[in-house]
Structures are given as structure tokens and as C-alpha cells.
Chains A and B, each alone.
Chain A
Amino acid sequence: MTEPVRGTRISVDVNGEIHERDVEARRLLVHFLRDDLDLTGTHVGCDTGNCGACTVIVDGVAVKSCMMLAVQADGASVETVEGLAGNGELHPLQQAFSSFHALQCGYCTPGMLMSAKHLLDNNPEPTEGEIRRAIQGNICRCTGYVNIVEAIAATARGEVSG
């Protein structure tokens, strides 16, 4: 794609499944996930890169999908909240969020879970400070974060099973 194009066909691995779609160059990754693939677990919160509700993991790296173009995900592997549960069982982080009351309205939860998964993938035994720093880019206006931090810490300690 060395000459400018208005749109192109992209192929993206989302939660282990390859999706091919024609997308406009202006399409944001979050809209590709929600509107083209109907994966509405990834939320649009602030749409200005502050709140983190749209956090997904692209090639192993946590990013805010409202600040990345869908065409930039061509050939990439994307993990969204829909990929966490498997075989009808919640992911341990999801179970912990439920057990520890780590959500109220739930709007920030998909992004919070993906940031937490990214943390534990890279640092299986985080300190409380490391947990708080890892979710710094995810805003929750309900919980006050205490139960979210406890849920992530309990998951890291293996105290929660999915």
C-alpha cells in the first residue's frame, strides 16, 4: 500500500478467528470491532483516548482502540473481552471481578479486564502498586478502584478459578 488509498481489504485475527473485511482508511479499530464484526463488548467511552473503555490487546500490547485505525490492524492478532471466557466458563479475571464486586455499572469493565489481562500476561505476580499503575489508563467512575485492584490481586494469587 505504497500509494494512498481511500480504503482497503484487511485481514485481522480477532480472538483466534480470521476476519476479512473492506474498510475505509478512516475507520477506527474500535468501530471495526463493534460495527463490522458486531463485537460490542469493546466500549466507546470518552472517544478522546482518556478513559480506556476501548482497550484491546493488539499483538500482545494493550492499546486504546479509539486511537488506532482498523487498517493498522491488518495482519495483526487482536484480543477483545469476548475472547476471555472459553467453553462456557468465565476467565479467572472475570470470575474475580464478579466475586469481588469489582464493577457497578460495568461500562469500564471490558477495558479494565483487558488491561488486567495484559498485566498478568507480562507480570504474573504484580505488587499492588504495579496493578494500580497498569490500570491508570482505565477510568472507573463507580467503584473507587479498591475492589478492582483486589480482584486482580486475587487472580494473580490463584485464589479465583474460572
Chain B
Amino acid sequence: MTAATDHNDDDVALAGEYVLGLLPADDLRGFELRLRDSSDMRRLVVEWDEYFIPLAAEIPEVAPPPAIQARVERRLFGAPRRRWPLPWQGTLAGGLIAAALIVGLMFLTPPDQPDALATHTAQIAAEDRSLLIAATLDDDTGEIRLHRTEGAARAGRSLELWLIPEGADGPISLGLLGDDEVTVLTLAPEQRAALQGAVLAVSDEPEGGSPTGAPTGEVLAVGEISPAA
């Protein structure tokens, strides 16, 4: 870091105020114009940023909610990426084949019969039963399988699934329910350990999911997670 010493005090102080976020609106506009045109001023700003940055060392790291990364990727790249490839994606290409397989599986596995591998189940239901989803969870692989038997997202809206562990501060987004009747999502390892006594909930959200990381729309359906029989 080489410090330029040929700046006048007013510019030095202005650049410092700018970096601290203290400049009043009028001064700010003027300063930003000068910044655009003057590499000297830009260098002053970088210097102040570098001077102050050691203070940020005392800010504790806090792990953000897991849903945020997916939301960033959705904003930048569109459709969400699945964390783990589904079993058939490696060998069979094409949505049609995958769709045919899902339909096939639905016939082979009646929805009311719990998945043989499931360790937990939940019936996520609206009070008036206008939305019904049977969930089976496997705390070993982290797979949650959701079978929607009643109801759907409204046009231009999405259904988002939330996990609320016992005693948690707030809901954790698990992802969006797809348009198909069956959606498969994956739980993070720390979530797998928190299934006992937890609740699953589905909320009505803007298309693509809650923009804030917490439910923003109406909670449409809830269901308690219980160990599989």
C-alpha cells in the first residue's frame, strides 16, 4: 500500500467520509462525479478502504441460511440447480424419459404407502384440505419425497417448502415444489439431524420462491414430522 501524500486535506477527508458512508446526499453526488473522472480520487478511496479493512476482522462470521445460495443462483442463472443428480440423470437423457419414469414410479408405489426406506413421514395439509402433500423423508440420505395429491401453485406463484426444527428461530427453506405431482428435495446434513419434532410447512410465494429467505406469503399447509411406522 503506497500512500500518496500530494492530496489536499479536503479531498482526503472527503474520500474518508465517502468510504465510511457518511457523505450527505449533495456532497455524495458531487464526489461520485469526481470519482468517475479522477483516478487519483479513486486511488484515495481504495487506500481508505484498505486502511479500514482490518477493523472488519472483529466482525464474527455467521453462516447464512442455506437457501440463500440457491436464491442467488436462481437470480443469476434462472432455474435452480439440483444439489445431487437424480439416479436416472446419469444414464437416461431427456425430460420425457424422466417424466415417464416418474409416472411409472407413481403406479408402482401407491402414494399412501410409505416409502420402504423412509425414516420419517409427514402429512402436509391445508385446514380445508385444498392442498395435500404426503412427505417421506430419509434421514440417512437426506432425501425428501413429496407427493402432492391435492391443490397446486396459483398461476404465476410458487409453492415453497419450509422445515421448522423444534425450538428453531425460524423456518428454513428446503426449496420449491415442482409442477409435477412428485418433487424430490435433499436435506442438508444438519437438517437431517433435526427432524424429530420438526414441522414441514408450505407457503405461497412469488414465482421462483421467497425473495427474503423467510416466508413472505400465506402459509397454506403444515404437517408434523413423525417417525415412519
A, B from the same assembly: no
List the interface of chain A (C-beta within 8 A of B).
none
